[in-house]
Structure 1
Amino acid sequence: MTTDRRPATSLSTTDDVSSFIARSWQRSRRAGVVPDGSNPPRLQFVEDLDLRRRLVQCASPILDRLHDDLTGMSLSVALTDEHAQVMLRRDNDPALAAKLDSVCFAPGFNYSEDVIGTNGVGTALETGMAVYVNGRQHFHEAIHDFTCAGAPIHNPILGRVEGLIDITGLAREANPLMRQLALGAARDIESALRSTGSEKQQLVLGEFLAACRRRQAAVYSLSCGVFMSNSIGSRLLDPIDEAFLREEAHALLGPSQITQLDLRLPSGGTITVKRHIIEDGVEVAGVILEVERSPRPTRTITRHRSIPALPGSTGSSPQWARCSSELVALASSEANTILRGEGGSGRLTLARGAHLYKNPQAPIIVVECDATESVEAGVSKAIESSATTIVLRDIDLLDAQQDRIVSDLVSTDQRSYPARWIVATSSTDGSRLLHSVLARNFATTLDVPALRHHPDDISAIIRMLLGQRAPHRESDIRDDALRVLRKYHWPGNVTELVDTLEFALRVKPAGAITAADLPPALSSAPRRTMTTMESTERDAIVVALRECGGNRVAAAKSLGIARSSLYRKIETFGIHV
């Protein structure tokens, strides 16, 4: 431990500190961390922690046991995720707990090295090693009073870092054995993760590794919701294209004779995918995908169809054509249908369009199943009306009693003549209707594609929306703006696209819409949920890059930050301008 009282910014490897700590200080400086202890650090905070994830479930009893073993000692034990976000903390000493709270080492706060500098959490995650950081070895002066030991927790199947275990005490009571305690707890959590791991995942992992050994190509796998790639695959696709492939992998888990297909990516490129289904007895354990970029499509798996022009919607992609055609056929046969999809994907628009396509003169009624007023009264009123189509919106939000009552009303109506066409919308979470009585009144389920799955339709949707939102204005949209729109992942789907267009129309009261008129968030594809502060910072960087024509040196200068900090933030926020 150094006894030098100079601030961390003035120390170097020639001082009485290890080269390991010195390298961490250098990284901290490059990240722009200021080691001023006059004020507590302003750390990033996330309120909605996912405490249901398997890491937390496996780690909680081990943290409780370690907490009990350390009774009488002034130590705190904490669990963080792989991004240095504190998830849990167990305290034995109220005085120590209060000190930790004062420096925001608490659930929801981020202790990564590039936020607060050298510390037992961020430095361990940065290096992938168990570390022991004592007192003034911390880069930021605000945490010089503490000693902490951190050990990364690895997924025993995938090998990736899942999180970290940290043990913290006051520097005056430091003990190097804290590092061994943290290492032992991390190994115990890894054993718990291994024992709860899926046999299917392990089977798919073996096939994944075998595929990686067979040939030097991009290999991806999906099993039990876990999607992973080899190093070649991680470099092949950008975040948006990879998210698209992940969603397609779910579709490829189903029964099919297809072993090879071409996929058009949101970025505009095309990939050839070889599909290998992995079975565990009679069940599907997962899928292995071997992927190569193809200069031109060699084969297509979709047939050209006549796409019905449903009022209020537009699109010619294979995904939208399939959905529209199947819904029109279901409307013609009056087969009650559940439209399942993400919020804003166009489920209600499709239901209305199919109704109007079938009988444009007949009335349609939409019943909101999440309304504060009586849903039962709304359904009864709809059934007593002359409507030939009833849409039950968000039926997965009904409680068990409402579900039974609405089911009885619909069942009684279906026994009358003529029976109405009943359409329901629900989210993609199939478990929410697992015990639904109402669901038995429907003949089939039709999946509505998310907007990111048919980006080729964005141009047509935008032009339709321009005609609706600005009918008296000569508006157009430039190719550079369309490229940005096609690359974005659209978590809010078409609803978010509408908001985006209205934003652009406000920014550009006249003239063609360009990429510079779009919200900054569209030029970012972060791999995790961003805090409000991070989103603000991301927006400022995107605006600076746009104003500087993509020149990063000029953008860093205009923002007043180091180029290295800008490059790191561009990578962290997934910015593409």
Structure 2
Amino acid sequence: MIDNLVLHLQDAPATILLADSAAQIVDRRAGDAGLRARLDRAYVAPGFRYAEEDTGTNGIGTALEERRPFQVSGGEHFREALQSLACVGVPIVHPITRTVEGILDITSNLSDSNALMGALAQSAVREIQSRLYAESSDREQLLLQSFLQASRRGSSAVVSLNQDVIMTTPMAAQIIDTSDQALLWDWACRMLAGRDEFIGEVRLADNVTVSATARRVGDARTPAGIVIEMRPHPRDTKKSSARQLASASPVERRTETVKIPGRSLSTKRLQTELERLAAIDAPVLVTGEPGAGKFFAASALHRMQDADGHFTVFDAGTASVDPDAWIAGLVNWNKVDGALIIRHLDLLPEQLVSNVCAILSEAVDNRAHIIATAGEGVRQGPAGRLCDHFLRRIEIDPLRLRSEDIADISVALLRKHSPDRNGLRLQPTALQLLVARDWPGNVRELESVLASSLLRSMGSDIGVQHLPDGYRDGDLRRRNASTSLELAERDALLRALVETDGNKLLAAQRLGVARSTLYRKMRALGIDGSRFLPQ
């Protein structure tokens, strides 16, 4: 295809650029000698990356960021070396997975640009996408065709999925979320065992029951996937809405007494997520670094769900001491009423995984309240299979990414360790030193430092002299955001990125700055742009 485009442009003063999904140029074709020399001087050549966050507005990076054709001329380029050029970039979107595979860009001297460049680039991309579809596996094509056929009927919400791909109609997108993909796949696989079609009911993660028709796509030996046509039950929708309204007040009342200490954007999001999950009857997995506060969050979630109920704690990290006794205890719990919190799920011995899977499956079917905590690498270990039982997940950020919380967490910890001295506080200089640290041991390390300092202070406010050795020196070891102004600025940037689902253009507009300024601020404040990919 690129060769054909080169033939069309062989006598034109224009160059064809092909970039990958990371905005790195992988091929450059055509163009007269003068244009090629100019592009070389500007480093517009294979091997160079033109992501918008690195080089500002340009035909490749901006088209990739916005997922649409984008034309840039002259001074609209951020880099001065590109301002004598005109270019148009068009994203190459895979017709089945809908991911951006790369960018096709046509670039010329500014004086040689014309409106046909965009039309030619878009025509070429349409042909490339047609070839991508033709080269897709027969299974992928069959799945897409079945989805389109079901969608044309228009009377149901349609989901087409396999283990790698999910396609939804707008109606389906309104009633399912990302966690429902695993739920629907598991339900359909079980119901279609030994048959090609099943009609029944399935309860989605948000307690909405739908009538569903599941059909296997392809034959039983090499299935391409599954198509599910769904219709919500009007009565169930009403009941679900009523339940949510009825539970709104209790959840709100309980969260007044279960407040997560902290003022950072991360903690505010955690508080909101816990409140939302408290109203949903589904197992929850809490992940994070050691000492980050996973068990605290799990306990808080339980109190939000049932402030007066009891819960049983099983520590998977101790299961290896007496595996039979540990499993027996879990079996006994499953026979009685009450919630369950499993700590350190990632440390569960491999020989117990199958037994725990069976117990959890039965407990989930009985709608037991189950919460588990685990390290970030739980999926890579033997206990990874257990993650599929937890349709809702929360990740606790490490303390080094939410240093704004240290003052509030310290107050809560001091109150915990000295309940008779409510007025006890950290002196400002001591707090400044604590806020400045990176805390590799997270909240657990902070708690240890404060407990030790309490003994030294003998009832007085904690000053620098009361901190343990190694915590009272002047080596602040701060990250990028070291002043109150920078912390506030960082929080505002993060909030804008979260509220716009990672869309840099909308985030910049919300903050009233240019997108190039947004990128500079993100780099200066240590914000990883890859965490906020455009949707």
Q: TM-score range by the shorter chain?
A: 0.3 to 0.5
TM-score (structure 1 length as normaliser): 0.41
Return the TM-score normalized by structure 2. Answer: 0.44
Q: Which structure features the higher share of helix residues?
A: 2
